[in-house]
Amino acid sequence: MSDAPIEEFIAELEASITAAQPGEIQPETLFRACPWWDSLAVLCTLGAFDICFGRQIQADDLRRCKTIQDIYDLSRQEGAS
């Protein structure tokens, strides 16, 4: 089970993805279409997820995500490493 609300996860993302404007990251954001989404944003997302939930996102799982909510929902899946 996740131990951080999505607002906290988004706050972590906003703090580390400095290219994103405040308020630009929302649960329904289709992140791949955003100008700030690049290989560095990927690492920031992995880092934010690890800080919030104490575990890592696998590359294949991230590939299936479309929205920020999708990434957050990975924290509620059983069996993630």
Partner 1 sequence: MRAQLHHLRLAALSVATGPVTRTLDDEAHLYADQPGQLDRMRAMVGIERRHIAPVGITALDLARAAAERVLRETGTSPDDLDAILFVTQTPDHPQPCNANLLHGQLACPPKTAAMDINQGCSGWVYGLYFAGLLLETGAARTVLLCAGDTVTQTIHPRDRATVPLFGDAASAALLKRAEHPSPAWFALHSDGRGHGAICIPAGGARQPRDVRTGVAKVAEDGSERSPENLFMSGIEVFNFTLREEPKAVRELLEFAGTDAEAVDIFAFHQANPFILTQLARRLRLPLEKVPMRTAREFGNQSSASIPGVLAHDCGEQLATRRTRLLCSGFGVGLSWASCLLNVDPLDHVSIFQLQPPVPL
Residues engaged in binding partner 1 (CB under 8 A): 16, 18-19, 38-40, 42-44, 46-47, 50-51, 56-59, 62, 81
Nearer to partner 1, 6 or 80 (CB): 80
Output the six-digit token pair for 13: 């993302």
d(CA 37, CA 22): 15
Which of 30/43 has CB closer to partner 1?
Answer: 43
The nearest distance, CB 63 to partner 1, in angstroms, is 10
User: Considering the complex, what minimum distance in angstroms separates the CB of residue 64 from partner 1?
Assistant: 14
CA atoms within 13 A on the CB side of 49: 24
3-class secondary structure, 47: helix
C-alpha atoms less than 13 angstroms from C-alpha of 66 in its C-beta half-sphere: 1
Complex with partner 1: residue 28 or 47, whichever CB lies closer = 47
